Amino acid sequence: MINKVEICGVNTAKLPILSNAEKDALFKRIQAGDKQAREDYIKGNLRLVLSVIQRFNNRGEYVDDLFQIGCIGLIKAIDNFDVTQNVKFSTYAVPMIIGEIRRYLRDNNSIRVSRSLRDTAYKALAVKERLTTRDAKEPTIAEIAKELDMAKEDIVLALDAIQDPISLYEPVYHDGGDALYVMDQLKDEKSHDDNWLEEISLKEAMKRLGGREKHILSLRFFEGKTQMEVADEIGISQAQVSRLEKSALAHMKKYI
Per CATH, domain 193-253 is 1.10.10.10: yes
- Evaluate whether 97 touches 46 at the Cβ level (below 8 Å): no
* pLDDT per position as a tens digit, 102-153: 888 777 765 556 677 778 888 888 899 888 888 888 889 999 999 999 998 8
Average pLDDT for 61-69: 82
- pLDDT of residue 57 exceeding 50, the answer is yes
Task: Please tell me the chain's helix, strand, coil percentages from 3-state DSSP, rounded to the nearest 5.
Answer: 65, 5, 30
- CATH 1.10.10.10 in the chain is located at 193-253
- pTM of the predicted model as reported, rounded to 2 decimal places: 0.43
Burial degree of 209 (CB within 10 A; 0-12, 13-18, 19+): buried
- pLDDT of residue 165 exceeding 60, the answer is no
Give me the half-sphere count of Cα atoms (radius 13 Å) on the Cβ side of residue 157: 10
- Closest by CA position to 219, among listed 239, 209, 202, 234: 234
- CATH 1.20.120.1810 in the chain is located at 1-109
State the chain's mean pLDDT as an integer. 79
Average pLDDT for 71-76: 90
| Distance separating alpha carbons of residues 11 and 19, to the nearest angstrom | 20
* pLDDT per position as a tens digit, 2-53: 445 566 666 667 777 888 888 888 888 988 888 898 888 888 888 888 888 8
pLDDT-based confidence at residue 1 (cuts at 50, 70, 90)? very low
CATH class of the domain defined by 1-109: mainly alpha
10 three-state secondary structure: strand
Q: Could you say which DSSP state residue 221 is in?
A: I
